[in-house]
Amino acid sequence: MGVAAALIGLAAWGAGALDRLERVSVDQRFQVRSDRTPSPDVVVVGIDEDTQTVLESRWPFPRRLQADVIDNLAAAGAAVIAYDIQLTTGTADVDDQRIYEAFDGAQNAVLATSRYDPTNGPDVIFLDEDLAAAGIRMGHVAFPDTPDNVFRRVPLGVEGLASFSAVAAGRFLGRPVPGEGTDRSALIDYAGGPGTITTIPYADVAADGFADSPGASAVRGRIAVVGLTGASLGDTHPTPFAGPEINANGIATFLAGEPLSDAPGWLDALLIVLLAGLGAAASLRGGAWTAIAAAGVAGALFLVGAQIAFSGGTVVAVTAPLLALGLATAGGVGVGYAGIDRQRRRLRAEFERFVPAEVVGEVMDRVGDDQRLGGRRIYCTVMFADLRGFTAAAERLPPETVIEMLNRYLGEMSDAILDHGGTIVSYMGDGIMALFGAPLEQDDHADRAVAAARQMRDVRLPRFNAWCAGRVPGDGFRMGVGVASGPVMSGNVGSERRMEYAAVGDTTNIASRLQSLTKETPAMVLIADSTRAALTAPVADLEAVGALDVRGRQVPAAVWTLARAPAPGPS
């Protein structure tokens, strides 16, 4: 499961199936990371709704007014005027000429375009030769497409034209940023939320005398990104930043040398494999809840580490490793449960060969406890059975024959007991102790015990003697069966390492004594009067033996047997 989870995680990561979740995770890492000090080299000159009120003009402002702002920025000493306003539609020739002259005088402008044709050039009102003459550079303002249209990466080039942010940063640095104009993109290192980068009202810059005002120091020697910041003015995006702020953060990213970078592919792949391994290992080392808790801790520590790496400038993949961790843990727990269930079935099958099936069921239901069945008082029938003459015969036989003979006898008698719903409590050499009506109650426990005793004596014993013929010297074996009914205390007894089911009490003592008394009477089955009284249906062949002295009883006890017994073998 660990290998499968790793392969699934690697496949999902390589196919980009988790890219959307990965982008969301990057957003969350920005939220967790504290705001950074914004670049001191970038300011935004914002046009918002208040600007329209102050200037008593609706956007788009006259080109003459825009030209005045450019003149004021140049006079104030702006190092670069990054004009994030597309000039794609001509107006009066005199107005277009006026703004061109402003750019020409500044000699440091970068203009924005969203459409570029390698043959016809950018979509702008100026001719290429005029742009070159005025020292104006063009930059593409498109961003890489994402399903949610959130701008997280800034390109270095689009359609063969360098990006707006890359051109502005390169102009400020006096050299092109590495990769300018290529189709590579960089993660935008947002300094913080909206407004983190210093923003100057456009109306302030448009005022006469701005270059000599205290506000001029805010743009002196800096990149001034001019654009629309008002929510109703159209340059808004799903990212909580207006267009100029996005570009300003992109410019700052290039100025800082792209401080955020994706982790090497081999590192992400290694993390996927490692977390899959951790999930599998957690499943091997404990139960389901332990594995889930361990995986949760591992996942939390991984996220903390990913956040630390992010703060240090490395963006590691988190969704694919977490997917691998989750799949490995869930799969491992599932396989573990399947294995436990298989083990339980095997254990039950093996356990039932030694312990009553009903007892096994109760014990298996208590896995995790001390596996003891609590003692309880129950009315049932107790049976003891013993093979007469076995010990003497065993002394004259090879050990293999003795064990074979014993297994044959116990198998016959056990089948008789189990076929009648009895519970075999224990084997004591050739002796058997069984219960009817415990640990699971049976209303007809006495009837079942008497019927089992009859089958043991009349069917199973002759069959066993027939098998012994030719293998064991003699004419066959006798057996003794004692049956008594009454209350017993039943439950598991022993230590935590070794337990057995037991039924103790006076009823057990009587059944054991009756079995012993069969050695002193012709009857092979002795049934206590308590069992006769507990019968739910008459037994036609039940005969009174008379009163026998049962050890531990103050008065002689009435005892019964089953008539029409077969001719006994030698004792």
Give the pLDDT confidence of 396-447 residue by residue, as tens digits.
889 998 999 999 999 999 999 999 989 888 899 899 999 999 887 889 999 9
485 with 389, same domain: the answer is yes
Whole-number percent of the chain with pLDDT over 90:
50
Q: Count Cα neighbours of 57 within 13 Å in the Cβ-side half-sphere.
A: 13
On whether residue 358 sits in a domain, the answer given is no
On whether residue 480 sits in a domain, the answer given is yes
Provide the Cα torsion 37, 78, 143, 159; round to 10°.
-140
The runs of H, that is alpha helices, within 456-564 are 461-468, 506-517, 529-534
Which band of pLDDT confidence, cut at 50, 70 and 90, is reported for residue 280? Answer: confident
Mean predicted confidence (pLDDT) in 119-139: 84
Q: Report in angstroms the alpha-carbon separations of 428 from 337, 424, 489.
A: 37, 11, 20
On whether residue 19 sits in a domain, the answer given is yes
pLDDT at 290: 83
CA 571/CA 568 separation, integer angstroms: 8
Give the pLDDT confidence of 224-260 residue by residue, as tens digits.
999 998 878 766 666 666 678 889 999 999 999 999 9
Last residue of a domain, one of 255, 286, 313: 255
114 touches 163 (CB < 8 A): no
183 with 92, same domain: the answer is yes
**Which of 223-237, 355-369, 533-547 comes out lowest in average pLDDT?**
355-369
pLDDT at 362: 61
Higher pLDDT, 89 or 21: 21
Which band of pLDDT confidence, cut at 50, 70 and 90, is reported for residue 570? Answer: very low
On whether residue 364 sits in a domain, the answer given is no
On whether residue 568 sits in a domain, the answer given is no
pLDDT at 239: 65
165 with 70, same domain: the answer is yes
Q: Count Cα neighbours of 538 within 13 Å in the Cβ-side half-sphere.
A: 3
422 with 558, same domain: the answer is yes
382 touches 511 (CB < 8 A): yes
**pTM flag (> 0.75):** no
Whole-number percent of the chain with pLDDT over 70:
90
77 with 211, same domain: the answer is yes
Take residue 547 and report the two structure tokens written for it: 């009163």
**Contacts (Cβ under 8 Å, ≥6 apart) of 330:** none
Domain range for 236 is 40-255
Last residue of a domain, one of 194, 220, 255: 255
Mean predicted confidence (pLDDT) in 48-70: 91
25 with 60, same domain: the answer is no
Average confidence score pLDDT of the chain: 86
Whose CA is closest to 43, among 197, 254, 253?
Answer: 197
22 with 46, same domain: the answer is no
Mean predicted confidence (pLDDT) in 449-463: 96
Number of Cβ atoms within 10 Å of the Cβ of 413: 26
pLDDT at 351: 59
- List phi, psi (to 5°) of 206: -75, -15
Give the pLDDT confidence of 330-340 residue by residue, as tens digits.
888 888 777 66
Higher pLDDT, 335 or 508: 508
347 with 319, same domain: the answer is yes
400 with 536, same domain: the answer is yes
**Contacts (Cβ under 8 Å, ≥6 apart) of 136:** 103, 104, 109, 110, 111, 126, 130
505 touches 458 (CB < 8 A): no
Give the pLDDT confidence of 9-31 residue by residue, as tens digits.
999 999 989 988 998 898 888 88
Strands 161-162 and 157-158: antiparallel
On whether residue 535 sits in a domain, the answer given is yes
Last residue of a domain, one of 234, 255, 276: 255
Asked whether residue 499 carries a pLDDT value surpassing 70, the answer given is yes
206 with 101, same domain: the answer is yes
Mean predicted confidence (pLDDT) in 141-162: 84
pLDDT at 571: 38
**Contacts (Cβ under 8 Å, ≥6 apart) of 504:** 488, 489, 490
Mean predicted confidence (pLDDT) in 514-526: 92
**Which of 65-69, 256-260, 343-347 comes out lowest in average pLDDT?**
343-347
318 with 376, same domain: the answer is no
Higher pLDDT, 484 or 347: 484
Judging by beta carbons within 10 Å of its beta carbon (0-12, 13-18, 19+), is residue 204 exposed, middle or buried?
middle
Per the structure, how many domains does the chain have?
3
235 with 322, same domain: the answer is no
503: CATH: 3.30.70.1230
CA 365/CA 359 separation, integer angstroms: 10
